[in-house]
Amino acid sequence: MIKKMFFAMLSLGILVVSCDNDDDNQPKTASLTLNLNGLEALGSDYVYEGWIIVNGSPVSTGTFSSVTFPQSFQVNSNQLENATTFVLSIEPAIDPDPAPADTKLLVGDFSGNTASLNTSIVGDFSNASGSFFLRTPTDETGPNNGNDQYGVWFGLPVDPPTPDFVLPTLPEGWAYEGWVVGSQGPITTGTFNAFNSMDSFDGFSQTLQSGPPVPGEDFFLNAPAGETFPLDVRGRTVVISVEPVPDDSPAPFAMKPLVGTAGQETAPTTYDFGRNLGSLPTGSVSR
């Protein structure tokens, strides 16, 4: 009996040591906490994903869709300790690519155990400016036909119209989009990356002639649900946003660097955009 008890205790000791060794082999983790401001919920096909840069390579810290903060994530402690930079990107919810997408939104270098985040990875909007005018060039076959309150175009109403945006050239993964706030919400004027050519959209315009070589839109056809066309732009809010590409949300993204209000006069009167830097997401991470 004593011999049996001895071997039983010996087996138990081996088991305990074995379990301890298994625990020792597990990678140790530490907490990374995100405290972000100004993010908006994405469409159902996309999520936010955090990354730390370790020895020049990105390491995922996890994905999230909630924009309520703070949020914490468990990360390999050795990698987290050696991280130099934090990056936040927008990624497909089902993502076969392990690398970060082009839609990198926030960035910040660690100083000690914290990093302050900003949108400089998208562009510098500190001097953003521009103007717009009311005219309906797609409905004109001759002299002004007296309905210029139904269109908005970005730039100066010379012949031909010319752009006057002071905006950064966006990196891959991003595009500008114009909006007019209608009765039911924002109505797109189209996306663009070049300021001196037409944008990607003309679904509301007439077809009597093509639009000018600047972004913009006339509002005559195919009114969205709840809106009445032709849309009188006078007195309405006009917005330039920065949108992720691709984008599955019909609403403007959080970044709206330029916002203005249309007055009562049509072209040649122009209206200035105001900087709206408070719309740019910011935040911090701590380890």
Q: What is the pLDDT of residues 153-179, one digit of tens each?
A: 999 999 999 999 999 999 999 999 999
Q: Tell which wins on pLDDT, 3 or 287.
A: 287
Overall average pLDDT of the 81-110 stretch: 96
DSSP secondary structure letter of residue 220: -
pLDDT level of residue 141 (50, 70, 90 thresholds): low
Overall average pLDDT of the 252-270 stretch: 97
The backbone torsions φ and ψ at residue 191, rounded to the nearest 5 degrees and listed phi first, read: -95, 155
pLDDT score of 223 more than 80: yes
Which pLDDT score is estimated for 12? 40
In a domain, 251, yes or no: no
Measured torsion, CA atoms of residues 33, 107, 170, 219, in degrees rounded to the nearest 10: 30
Overall average pLDDT of the 225-242 stretch: 97
Out of 39-43, 179-183, 206-210, 232-236, least confident range: 206-210
Which pLDDT score is estimated for 2? 43
Would you say how long the chain is, in residues?
287
Q: What is the pLDDT of residues 120-131, one digit of tens each?
A: 999 999 999 999
Look up the CATH number of the domain holding residue 118.
2.60.40
In a domain, 101, yes or no: yes
Overall average pLDDT of the 65-85 stretch: 97
pLDDT score of 143 more than 60: no
Which pLDDT score is estimated for 272? 98
Which pLDDT score is estimated for 277? 97
pLDDT level of residue 231 (50, 70, 90 thresholds): very high
In a domain, 205, yes or no: no
For 13, the enclosing helix (H) or strand (E) is helix 2-25
Encode 82-113: b = buried (16+ Cβ within 10 Å), e = exposed: ebeebbbbbbeeeeeeeebbebbbbbbebeee
Other Cβ atoms closer than 10 A to 42: 20
In a domain, 112, yes or no: yes
Domain region containing 109: 27-122
Tokens of 220: 């005559």
Which pLDDT score is estimated for 4? 44
Overall average pLDDT of the 97-106 stretch: 96
pLDDT score of 7 more than 80: no
pLDDT score of 13 more than 50: no
In a domain, 84, yes or no: yes
Which pLDDT score is estimated for 207? 78
Q: How many domains does the chain have?
A: 1
Which pLDDT score is estimated for 16? 40
Overall average pLDDT of the 102-119 stretch: 98
Which pLDDT score is estimated for 209? 76
In a domain, 256, yes or no: no
The whole-angstrom separation of Cα 17 and Cα 40 is: 49
Residue among 168, 199, 172, 183 nearest 277 (CA): 168
In a domain, 114, yes or no: yes
Which pLDDT score is estimated for 271? 98
Q: What is the pLDDT of residues 193-208, one digit of tens each?
A: 999 999 999 999 987 7
pLDDT level of residue 6 (50, 70, 90 thresholds): very low
pLDDT level of residue 25 (50, 70, 90 thresholds): low
What's the mean pLDDT when you consider all of the chain? 91
Q: What is the edge-to-edge ordering of all strands in the sheet holding 57-64?
A: 57-64, 46-54, 83-92, 104-111, 114-117, 282-286, 29-37, 71-76
Q: Angle at Cα 15 formed by Cα 13 and Cα 18, nearest 5°?
A: 110
β strands within the chain, DSSP E: 29-37, 46-54, 57-64, 71-76, 83-92, 104-111, 114-117, 131-134, 151-154, 174-181, 186-192, 216-218, 237-244, 258-261, 270-272, 274-275, 282-286
In a domain, 57, yes or no: yes
Which pLDDT score is estimated for 1? 45
Which pLDDT score is estimated for 142? 55
